[in-house]
Amino acid sequence: MIIKTAPKRRQTVLAGLCVLGLAVGLSACGDSSSSDDPASNQVEFSFLGMPENTTVEAVLQTIAAGSCATDLADYPLKTSSQPQASYDQQLQLLAGNDALPSLIFAANTPSLAIELHDGGYLVDIDQALTEVGLADAILPAAESVLRSLYGGDLFTLPAEFNIEGIWYNKAILAQHGIAQPTTWDELTAANQKLADAGVQPFAVAGSGGDGWNVTRLVGNHIFRSLGADAMRQVADGKAKLTDPEYLASAEAVAAWGQAGYFGPAPTAVDYATAMNTFLTGQAAFYYMGSWALASFNDPTQNQIGDDNIGFLPFPNVTGGKGSAAEVPANAGMPLALSSASYDAGAKAWLGCLAQNYGTLALRDKGQITGFRVFDPVADLPALTTEVQDIIANAPSSVLWFEALFSAQATTTAQTNGGLLAEGSLSGADFMSIVQADLG
């Protein structure tokens, strides 16, 4: 049989070899075309983005094409991306090889960003902004959030500035005769009333790492009952999550989970689904950051109408040391500049960025940033204006549950958030596994 079919086989082998030869040739071509042209004196400004966040890249493109076009002509933007789940890994590998791109997201976990900064990998923004004559480009509120998040130093740029709180469906609350709850107990009572009436009180996501919006509830409950520095105490080792006063907050959220306030299967709900649950009127409350405005203002996603959505500051805990006036705030995924590639091009880019980012992000993407808006934008949606007012009037802010955690404890908290919401993990168990990773 071997002898019989030999010619045919040789033919196949030959054909195969041809294909491979072609492939090798093509890949070789690919190499040469992608390498830089030595004759040109252009220096690339590289940006490592995330497929999950398309806003930054879009705004950068607009900056490069807009009023800065001539300044940046010699420094073309080169973007690439790395999924959020493996972003930190890639940053470590790149930094370890002194190969960080010019502009990066400052890591998923603040602790890694601090590590990078301590290692001298990141540009000092304070000084750099002064050098380009734009020392006032970052809003004070945003700057204070960044400083408290990153141990007092400013080495990041607030490409987003978000407040968080509980959004509610005005019609559902009115229909069930529920007034705006101002304390946790009132909110619990409202949840119970809604649940009794067969309405899902809260929309949350808890699948995979999406459980962060559940741990935010735990964290905020801690801030409200123990004060704004409560998580700092844990980070400094002066308190433990397993201490009774901290445990109480996790138990409070777990109790909601056991009561079924988060719907039937929170661990199966991802971010998009939770958002959709709220925006199709299937849940009364939704804890989320103000970045969700992009979806709220999009009529194809928002079927309950944007004037039907209200904002509820995270309520007080009766007898607690914190106050509902302390708004949970974050800078989303801040940007950072690599010091190794901080050259004339990067400097030019920083200037253009600081000058234009706030305006363009707000104008094109409805994104509120921590940059000063140098050219006022007209005709903003009502909800966006409302959020801007809250930001302007907030006396102070608090961070979030995992803000000061190590990467490991952050992952553990966020992947177990869903189980907490499902009521299958007790508050005590949740706190002890997270505390175990804090060491």
Partner 1 sequence: MRPIDRSSPGPGHRRWRGWRRTPIGLVVAVLLVIEVYPLLWLFLGSLKTQDEFLNRPTWALPVDWLNFDNYVQAWRSGVARDLVNSVLAVFPALAAIVLFGAAAGFALEIMVWKGRSGVLLVFLTGIMVPSQMILLPLFSVYFQTHLTGTLWPLILTYTATGLPLTVFMMATYCRSIPRELFEAATLDGASLLRAFWSIALPVLANAVFTVGLVQFFFLWNDLLIAMTFTAGSGHDELATVQVGLLSFQGRFGTVQYGPTMAAICVNVLITLALYLFCNQRVMKGMAAGAVKG
Partner 2 sequence: MRQVLGDRKTIAVLLAPALICYSLIMLAPMVWSLGYTLFSGNPIRGFSFAGLANFDTLLHDPKSGQALLFTIKYAVTVTIGQVVLGYLLALLYVFQLKRSSGLIRTLVFFPVVLPTVAVSLLFQKLFAIVPQDGPVNSLMNLFGAESINWFGGGGRAFLVIALMDIWRSMGFYGVLLYAGLVDISDDVIESARLDGAGGWRLARTVVLPLSRPVLISALIFSINGTLKVFDSIYALTGGGPGAQTSPLTLHMYRTAFAYGDYGYGATIALSLTICCLLVTVAVFRGSRQDPTA
Footprint on this chain of partner 2 (rule: CB under 8 A): 85-86, 88-89, 92-93, 95-97, 112, 115-116, 119, 121, 207-209, 264-265, 267-269, 273, 276-277, 406-408, 411-412, 415-416, 418-419, 422, 424-425, 433, 436
Residue 163, CA atoms < 13 Å, CB-side half-sphere: 27
Give the span between the Cα atoms of 268 and 263, in whole angstroms: 10
- CA 290 to chain CA centroid, Å, is 11
Confirm or reject binding of residue 87 to partner 1 (CB under 8 A): yes
Give the span between the Cα atoms of 381 and 363, in whole angstroms: 11
Shortest CA distance to 201 belongs to which of 259, 275, 272?
259
**What's the full length of the chain, in residues?**
439
Look at strands 326-330 and 162-169 and give their pairing. Answer: antiparallel
Give which of partner 2, partner 1, none residue 183 binds (C-beta under 5 to 8 Å, depending on kind). none
Provide the minimum distance between the beta carbon of 418 and partner 2 in the complex, in angstroms, as a whole number.
6
Distance set, CA 299 to CA 55, 148, 280 (Å): 19, 36, 11
Q: What stretches of 157-312 show up as alpha helix (H) in DSSP? A: 170-175, 184-196, 212-226, 230-235, 244-258, 271-279, 293-296
Give the span between the Cα atoms of 78 and 93, in whole angstroms: 19
Structure tokens belonging to residue 38:
């030595």
* Token pair 């950068």: residue: 60
The residues that bridge with 179 in the sheet, in sequence order, are none
Nearer to partner 1, 77 or 134 (CB): 77
Give which of partner 1, partner 2, none residue 15 binds (C-beta under 5 to 8 Å, depending on kind). none
Nearer to partner 2, 129 or 269 (CB): 269
Provide the minimum distance between the beta carbon of 211 and partner 2 in the complex, in angstroms, as a whole number.
9
Nearer to partner 1, 17 or 174 (CB): 17
Nearer to partner 1, 25 or 140 (CB): 25
Site string for partner 1, 95-124 (x = CB under 8 A): -xx-x-x-----------------------
Task: List the interface residues with partner 1, window 4-23 (CB under 8 A).
Answer: 6, 9-10, 12-13, 16-17, 19-20, 23
Which residue ranges make up the site for partner 1 (CB under 8 A)? 1-2, 6, 9-10, 12-13, 16-17, 19-20, 23-24, 26-27, 30-31, 34, 46, 48, 51-54, 78-83, 86-87, 89-90, 93-94, 96-97, 99, 101, 205, 207-210, 270-273, 275-276, 280, 300
